[in-house]
Amino acid sequence: MMIDRGARPKGVFRRFCWDWTSIHDWLWRRDCGWHSKVWDRIWICYATPSTRSTTLRRRKIVTWRPSRLLGQIKWIMRIRLSRSSVGDEEKAALARVIDRGYLGMGPEVEAFEQELRSYIGFDREVVCVNTGTAALHLALQCLDIGPGDEVLVPSITYVASFQAVTATGARPVACDVTEDKVFLDLKDAEQRVTERTRAVMPVHYASDGSGIPEVYRFAARHRLRVIEDAAHAFGCRRDGQRIGADGDVVCFSFDGIKNITSGEGGAVVTGDKKLAERIRDARLLGVVKDTQKRYQSQRSWQFNVLHPGYRYHMSDLMAAVGRTQLRKIDRFGESRQRIGKGYRSALGTFPAIRLLNLEEGNIIPHIFVIRVLGGRRDKLCAHLSGAGIESGVHYRPNHQLDLFKADYRLPRADKLGDELLSLPVHVELTEREQQRVIDTVRAFEVSWFNEKRKNGPFKKPERY
């Protein structure tokens, strides 16, 4: 039995089917009037999300009350905050490596590095590793940053940035961020510079690196090395060039939800050939010149070690997936930019929400972050979750964590730590799903507006 948009089912149906659209309309209209009916087995047919085909699968839901049915339908229709976009091409790439019988670091990694170099341009050295955190760690260590040294890091970043510094024995120094971009505040960083400061690690937060040129001028004044944490920014541009085409050291991440993925993975990009050679050795436990052997599916048996190293190398399995994803970066970028533009257009005038001031045309949004004002961030997060929509917090300020606790205040980071909320962004997000996110946020805004109006005079926004 198919229920059309206007139908109001009556009685108890032992077994029936809805199409995806009817479920959506029923769930969000909430006017079916089934309050005390007892339900038995219910079969729901839905389109297979991975193929986007019209093929229908059946999923059995067993429940005895409509309220429980609502929760289970929401689970099926849940909108994820982020997800990988992989398919048959990635499976074929993995099968190719498995059939060859050599799964470790080999010719696929070499090919991936060459393709990344061609994509980024400007004769840069590219060294692939197994995570973005490993990329940061090796970059710092191979710059001889260690115990007794300090590295300036914006407090609002993923904890990986701080842990990479700690792994070298150095001390990460938390700095405040700008309110409009959540970027390293150089005025605050100026106050944190000491004779022990060796480097600064700006973070391309939410894929935006428009403040990077000022960081290099700051670093030049204080004679610091610059390690760019560009985990969010692969494929983005600045001044007409792709991120990584210039700069001291740039580190990317290719984990499962980034702009492209290799399952897990990362890369160090630099113009310093000696530094790149040292990183190549360090990713293979410090074994000198072992990289060339690995590229030929071999390994060194008579070798030397000059510096500490780790098992941070990328495998051919990971590289095969990464190479396939790299060929899709333009399509992925267009999809993510469309989603970002849709959010900015719809949410830009909401009175209780502020958008970040990012260079929309130059970035491929890894995340889309809004500021929720009035101390209502957690309430909006719960409201979205209740509607079957995932959201996230990128990130809790690191200077609030016990390991990196600071004995000074960072007022903007503290404030933003209570306001930032990430909305769903991934290549598989449909326009209809995005509209559902927007409508849910709008409903929350309307309730906020009505509450403010009850509490006293309030100027009505134009949108309403």
pLDDT in tens, 405-448: 999 999 999 999 999 999 999 999 999 999 999 999 999 988 87
What pLDDT digit, counting tens, does each position of 119-149 carry?
998 789 999 999 999 999 999 999 999 999 9
- Domains identified in the chain and CATH numbers: 20-76 (no CATH), 88-326 (3.40.640.10), 329-454 (3.90.1150.10)
CA distances, 342 to each of 345, 368, 389, 409, 424 (Å): 5, 11, 17, 36, 12
- Distance from chain centroid for Cα 344: 18
In the prediction, which pLDDT does 459 show? 52
Q: What is the pLDDT of residues 6-52, one digit of tens each?
A: 444 444 333 333 444 444 444 444 433 333 333 333 333 333 334 33
**Residue 296 pLDDT:** 85
pLDDT, position 271: 96
| Positions marked catalytic | 258
Q: What is the tens place of the pLDDT at every residue in 267-294?
A: 999 999 999 999 999 999 999 998 988 8
Task: Give the separation between CA 438 and CA 442, rounded to whole angstroms.
Answer: 6
Q: How far is Cα 115 from Cα 270, in angstroms, rounded to an integer?
A: 15
The tokens describing 104, both together, are 């470790």
The amino acid at 60: K
Q: Given this model, what pLDDT does residue 5 score?
A: 41
pLDDT at 16: 37
Is 295's pLDDT higher than 50? yes
Confirm if 84 and 261 have CB atoms less than 8 A apart. Answer: yes
Q: Which of 251, 235, 151, 243 is nearest to 193 (CA)?
A: 151
**Nearest to residue 358, comparing CAs of 211, 184, 202, 185?**
211
Query: What percentage of the chain reaches a pLDDT higher than 70?
Result: 80
Buried b (16+ CB within 10 A) or exposed e, 61-91: eebeebeebbeebbeebebebbbbbbeeebe
With a cut of 90, say whether residue 233 has pLDDT above it.
Answer: yes
Q: What is the pLDDT of residue 278?
A: 97
H or E element, residue 325: helix 316-326
Residue predicted with more confidence, 296 or 358: 358
Q: For residue range 156-209, list pLDDT tens digits in order.
A: 999 999 999 999 999 999 999 999 999 999 999 999 999 999 999 999 999 999
Q: What is the pLDDT of residue 345?
A: 96
